[in-house]
Structure 1
Amino acid sequence: MYKSTIAQISGGGQTGFLSAKGFTLAEVLITLGIIGIVAAMTLPTLVAKHRIIVTETALKKFYTNINQAVRLSVADNGETQYWTFADEAYNPEKIEAFYNKYFKDYLKVLENSKTNRAFNIIFSDGSAAGIDYYGKDWTFCLNAKYLQDYSKYIGTKCFIFGFYPMGVGGDCDSSTYSYKNFHNKGVEPYVSCTITEEDGSVNNTTIKDLYKSPSLYTKLIQLNGWKIPKDYPLRL
């Protein structure tokens, strides 16, 4: 009788404990469903933030490294206003010769290649730059695979820089924003001399115009401390 009473008390207590602390299958499934919904809502945001950080880091790294190369080259080859650019705008062999003379020894490049109009350099981290227009226009891409069709990715995967230490020339005189952006400087985010408005009129480019063309978006990022602005026109 004594043992039977103990068994009943013990058994009843264990059953009550499991009922109070355990979870039914339905409750588990509901919890997992909620977790899945939250993950589905937050994951795209996390991925987007990661892409932004990767882009910001890559742009700042390229800008720092390319201009360090310019400074080192100046020490050996003289001031940039005396450098000899390629004498054909889109001749990859002549652009390569310009690159070899002024940049090759000062950049860590994994490999290079040519297209019918540009000389491309690929860095050890997989990013790349295409050089054309006498060696003055530089297209930096987060990955070399984007170079082939870079025009599709301008402002998202590829970003335009320019190297115009004597200024852009032509009608781009010393009063223009573009001239001030490039003159006596190294490789800088591209700023066109003029911009064509929706009504067809052509005006000198100003800071306010930087939002009007993806080729100018690199300058937007630089002006924001190499951080993607919250009102950036494109989704990365």
Structure 2
Amino acid sequence: MIHHYLGKKGFTLAEVLITLGIIGVVAALTIPSLIGNYKKKVTATKLKQTYSILSNAVSKQQTLTGIPFSSYYVSEYRKDVCPTGYEFTACANALFEDYLKDNLSNNVKILNEGFGSHFYQTYASCSYGKAFILPNGVGVNIYGGAFAIIPNYKYENNPRKRIKLVPGKNWFNFGKYHMNDISLIKDVSGLLPMGKSERKNLTRNDLILRCNSNNTDTSVSACTQLFIEDGFEFKKDYPIKF
């Protein structure tokens, strides 16, 4: 509406309120998406950094010893520290000492054991074994020869405020869980969570479906595999919302 006093144009209160309402609706629709995309980018960056850090550390030690990282829990190699492959704390500590300790930054915060009850829920791969926190704030827990990765780790004293682990969102796995049969070592590919034989029978759509599974072990492995195969990015069809 045009007002003729003072020769100036203006808006009525109703028009202003309508405009503000429209702005509010647009903001309500777009802000969550913007926040989600930002969280995706931050998480993707941290995961890519962490994969590189762990891969480099493992590769250095494998070159020195000739022992594949994925074979660490096989009794032929580690009878002294892992006679059955199930002494998770002892094995994880030994694995950390042998493969990672001398190949990581001095700014790594090392815990005496796994993350324990640091999270809202307790999952063995995130709670037991050996944990450490990288300079980029990523929490890593060694369990069964694999790494549970918590991109935005933060300890909270109040149990009710602790991180609720969601596979494929704030919890990923690098590497494959321990194998007691040395013949299976060739099936492992780097720090991918799936063996070659398992992966070759799955399409990309199968990974998406598994990523969205209610089974946490299935979900976290599939989500991580999908993320890595997609070039360390969360593509538009990535099934987990941020």
TM-score (norm 2): 0.68
Runs of 4+ in 1 over 6 A off after TM superposition: 148-151
The equivalent residue for 1:79 is 66
Give the whole-Å Cα distance in 2 for the aligned partners of 1:235 and 1:54: 14
Give the whole-Å Cα distance in 1 for the aligned partners of 2:164 and 2:176: 19
User: What are the within-5 Å matches in structure 2 for residues 119-134 of structure 1?
Assistant: 119-133=130-144
Total equivalences in the alignment: 199
Give the whole-Å Cα distance in 1 for the aligned partners of 2:87 and 2:197: 22
* Pair 1:58-2:46 in alignment: yes
The equivalent residue for 2:89 is 92
* Pair 1:227-2:222 in alignment: no
The equivalent residue for 1:37 is 25
* Per-residue Cα deviation, 1:169-193 (whole angstroms, up to 9, x for no partner): 478485xxxx1x42xx4xx120057
Give the whole-Å Cα distance in 2 for the aligned partners of 1:93 and 1:58: 28
Determine if contact 1:90/1:132 at 8 Å carries over to the other structure: no
* Pair 1:24-2:12 in alignment: yes
Partner-residue secondary structure (3-state), 1:189: coil
Q: Which amino acid aligns with 1:210?
A: L
Determine if contact 1:168/1:193 at 8 Å carries over to the other structure: no
Of 139, 147, 150, 2:148 maps to: 139
| Structure 1 position 144, deviation (Å) | 2.8
Determine if contact 1:89/1:132 at 8 Å carries over to the other structure: no
Partner-residue secondary structure (3-state), 1:144: coil
More strand by share: 1
The equivalent residue for 2:125 is none
Give the whole-Å Cα distance in 1 for the aligned partners of 2:164 and 2:197: 20
Partner-residue secondary structure (3-state), 2:110: strand
Q: Which amino acid aligns with 2:194?
A: V
Determine if contact 1:95/1:132 at 8 Å carries over to the other structure: yes
Q: Which amino acid aligns with 1:119?
A: K
* Per-residue Cα deviation, 1:101-144 (whole angstroms, up to 9, x for no partner): 221111121232414731111112221111011xx111111133
Partner-residue secondary structure (3-state), 2:14: helix
The equivalent residue for 2:202 is 207
Give the whole-Å Cα distance in 2 for the aligned partners of 1:103 and 1:52: 28
Identity percentage of aligned residues: 29
Determine if contact 2:176/2:194 at 8 Å carries over to the other structure: no
Give the whole-Å Cα distance in 1 for the aligned partners of 2:111 and 2:146: 17
Of structures 1 and 2, the one scoring higher in RCO (CA 8 A, sep 6+) is: 2
State the structure with more CA Rg: 1
Give the whole-Å Cα distance in 1 for the aligned partners of 2:58 and 2:185: 24
Give the whole-Å Cα distance in 2 for the aligned partners of 1:150 and 1:194: 34
Determine if contact 1:128/1:144 at 8 Å carries over to the other structure: yes
Partner-residue secondary structure (3-state), 1:80: coil
| Structure 1 position 91, deviation (Å) | 3.0
Give the whole-Å Cα distance in 1 for the aligned partners of 2:137 and 2:93: 20
Q: Which amino acid aligns with 1:229?
A: K
Q: Which amino acid aligns with 2:35?
A: V
Give the whole-Å Cα distance in 2 for the aligned partners of 1:139 and 1:120: 9
Q: Which amino acid aligns with 1:153?
A: V
| Structure 1 position 63, deviation (Å) | 0.8
Partner-residue secondary structure (3-state), 2:140: strand
Moved more, 33-42 or 84-93: 84-93
Give the whole-Å Cα distance in 2 for the aligned partners of 1:222 and 1:56: 10
| Structure 1 position 217, deviation (Å) | 1.7
Partner-residue secondary structure (3-state), 2:168: coil
Partner-residue secondary structure (3-state), 2:239: coil
